[in-house]
Structure 1
Amino acid sequence: MSAPTFMLLGDAALTVSTSLARELHADLRVRPLPGVHESVPALNLLTVLFDPLTLDGSTLEDTLRSRLAGLHVHAPTESRTLVIPVSFGEDVGPDLAWCAAHTQRSEAAFIAALCDLTLEVAFLGFTPGFAFLTGLPAGLQMPRLDAPRERVPPGSVALGGPWAGVYPRATPGGWRIVGHTAMEFFDLSRPEPVPWQPGDRVRFEALT
């Protein structure tokens, strides 16, 4: 495991590049540090937002180095499995036929292969509620579109490179759309606006 690297972003944020980013994020939630407002995980990266009037960046870096020394990679104990019902193909999955042909499968076989997988939320990003789902085998990884669509409907289930995802809202997007779900992935009226967090497991379930 490589040594972590740190970089200040202005005077109120510190990024930590480490393979233990998820574990450090979880540790900061369990054992919060005075002066730290929030930590935001990405893929092998954690951004820590802090109050520069009560905490300076060098002190925070020293503390985080100490925290990292006591952590190790492990499966999160609080991970959940989220089952997402999906309508595949036809009008809601315009790229399904292309994806199936790309893998030399029938559409039914392609759907079955995708629904047999247990994916994992690697990190959240791009737009509120969007999760980058990892775990696609090489045979189901799809090249992105040559030209992104100007509008991808909310609830679109899509594949792009090594990732799968669900668009929580209408946005431009260049991933291959294979289906649609009615689930809401960003709702500020709920106690937890976003239903998934890094480490959660995800399965797609085909609706008939």
Structure 2
Amino acid sequence: MNPTATPEKARIVILISGSGSNMVAIADAVKAGDINADIAAVICNRPEVAGLQKARDRDLDTAVLDHKGFTTREAFDQALMELIDSYDPDLVVLAGFMRILTPAFTAHYHGRMLNIHPSLLPKYQGLNTHQRALDAGESEHGVTVHFVTEELDGGPVAIQAVVPVYDGDDALSLQKRVQVQEHVIYPIAVKWFTEGRLTLSQGTARLDGQPLPDHGLQLRS
């Protein structure tokens, strides 16, 4: 073994469904050298969304697999697995990928698939998180990066960013403030994973071998 050999870079596949803002944050961190990895592909389940052009503008390989062309969720997920695996990724990143995934899919990528969710999980799984937080009178809200498991938005948490809820906030103003933090913490989690620091073991997210608390590492803005 050559002790001076450069380790192979981790290969990342990013899945998007829309604007791709988190994909851009990760891609820009890779380009800047903050994440030592290669983005093997950006895959989208909807043709001609803005995120695809943003990926092309960054000279990233893109692929479209339109879920409307499949009669069942299982058939789509099987085709998606085959497409993802053709790029031989070390990590699959869900960046605004708006699909509920089948158990077979999540099991296939167990321990090597991350998702970002706009709430402080386990609060507000699912949709409309910002309005639900406001309706509940929360004083804090935020965003979570977690490992993907069969439970929707229920996998072990790696990192969260906490933002205050201000008087006069509406869902849009809160969303914008949360999204700023999304673009901070998702590249951090991806960096940790590609460096071998972030792992999933025995149902627990671990950083540098140490179990993370249920809320993961928390950053406050």
TM-score over 0.5 for the alignment?
no
Higher relative contact order (CA 8 A, sep 6+): 1
How does the TM-score come out when normalised to structure 1? Answer: 0.28
Q: Which has the higher strand share?
A: 1
How does the TM-score come out when normalised to structure 2? Answer: 0.27
Q: Which has the higher helix share?
A: 2
Whose Rg is larger? 1
